[in-house]
Amino acid sequence: MLSKMNCWKLGAFLGIILITCFGLATICTAQGAPRGGPGEALGFAQSIQGAAVVQRAGVPEFHALAEKDPVFLQDLIGTDPGLETRLW
């Protein structure tokens, strides 16, 4: 049979291992692939006040961005330099 001292040491050791495993799982999840792969939209242009353009990944030119257009992970979005330009 295990004495009380040995049980305490065993419990502490297993607790440290458990906490370490949870910590490593969190780190591994954070370093995983970013949410929103190449084909998955991160969001949509809900409302545009002024002019907005978008350059998709792998496409050399900009195109007009319209309301309800999807926005992807590596898109480059540009707007008018005016003070009244808004993009939601």
Residue 27 CA: distances (Å) to CA of 14, 60, 61? 20, 36, 38
pLDDT digits (tens, 9 = 90+) for 28-84: 555 444 554 556 788 898 888 888 999 998 888 999 999 999 998 888 898 888 778
The two structure tokens encoding residue 42? 């991160």
Please state the pTM of the whole predicted model. 0.53
On the 0-12 / 13-18 / 19+ scale of CB atoms within 10 A, 52 is buried
Residue 57, SS3? coil
Show Cβ contacts of residue 65 under 8 Å, excluding neighbours closer than 6 positions. 45, 48, 52, 53, 54, 77, 87
